[in-house]
Structure 1
Amino acid sequence: MSNKQDPSVWRGFRAFLMRGNVVDLAVAVVVGAAFTNIVNSVVKGVINPVVGAIGTKNLDHYSSCLSSTCQGDQGIRIMWGSVLGSTLQFLITAAVVYFLMVLPMAKFLARQEARRKAKTGTHETVEVTEIQVLQEIRDELVARRESQTGGR
């Protein structure tokens, strides 16, 4: 077994790391981690007090008991309040990411594409009907069959 690494493996690994979607994923993870603290603060500082006006400030205290008695560690509890809190945190995070990142980026990319088309002058779009696609598939299958059978 050789200690020398195959240079194509390293080249492939470097190419993998430099692909756009890997970098996008890394950025998304970092930004998501940064938003976690903000979202937790919003839930604890705004949403929990609003819910607290109705009941308790801590959503984790909302639960239902499946057994006849639930006191202390006794009984079976369904902690639906913590599920509700986590769901709210997820929805807030998703909304912030969508409205502050995804939507502006989509608009920016659409403007860039419109500018590119305006520069190149390619505004026409080719619409292909389902019938045309099926005819192309049929013709390709016929051509393949003929080439396999030698035109018989």
Structure 2
Amino acid sequence: MLTGFKEFILRGNVIDLAVAVVIGAAFTTIVTAIVTNLITPLIGAFFQANALDEAMIVSLNGSDIRFGAVLGAIVNFLIIAVVVYFAFVLPLNKLKERQERLRSKGVVEPGAPVTELDVLTEIRDLLQKQQSQPSGSGKHSDPLP
């Protein structure tokens, strides 16, 4: 029971996701500080408001529609998306492309991670080798009863 859980946790995708969540949470504070202290005052000055949340407010039947708050959220999202793409996604894609080129040339980098395809290919080769060998005449020679 615990071995299955251990295998699940140690998969690359789960670890990558955990790292991404931690880095994303830490990075959000940096982006929020940049947006709050640099971008929001600049946009607020452009719209003659103290903060972006107070800019572009439309009152309709006693309800306030805050376009400035939406604009601030969009700016915040775009900054996070651009930095995450250039800091994490682009380098990982380049690394994967490089590994694929090396694998296609038959050169396997020392210490390169073993993929599921590598394991399945090895299993296939072992099964083919096992089937090509003559089986014994003993009681256990047939794997299926």
TM bucket by the smaller chain? 0.5 to 0.7
- Please list, as runs of the form range in 1=range in 2, the aligned pairs for 1:1-152 lying within 5 A after superposition: 8=1, 10-54=2-46, 55-62=48-55, 63-67=57-61, 75-120=62-107
Cα deviation for residue 85 of structure 1 reads: 0.9
Work out the CA distance in 2 between the residues paired with 1:57 and 1:18.
Answer: 49
Work out the CA distance in 1 between the residues paired with 2:104 and 2:81.
Answer: 32
- How much identity, in percent, do the aligned residues show? 49
Cα deviation for residue 64 of structure 1 reads: 1.4
What TM-score, normalized to structure 2? 0.66
What TM-score, normalized to structure 1? 0.63
Structure ranking higher on relative contact order (CA contacts 8 Å, 6+ apart):
1
Give the root-mean-square deviation of aligned CA atoms. 1.8
Work out the CA distance in 1 between the residues paired with 2:17 and 2:50.
Answer: 35
Q: Which runs of 5+ in 2 are unaligned?
A: 108-145
Alignment-mate amino acid for residue 53 of structure 2: D
Q: 1:57 to 1:108 in 2, by over 3 A?
A: farther
Runs (4+) off by over 4 Å = none
Cα deviation for residue 57 of structure 1 reads: 4.1
Work out the CA distance in 2 between the residues paired with 1:42 and 1:57.
Answer: 16
Q: Which runs of 5+ in 1 are unaligned?
A: 1-7, 68-74, 121-152
> 8 Å contact 1:51–1:57 — kept in the other structure?
no
Secondary structure in 1 matching 2:90: helix
Range with bigger deviation, 22-31 or 110-119: 110-119
Secondary structure in 1 matching 2:75: helix
Aligned positions, number: 106
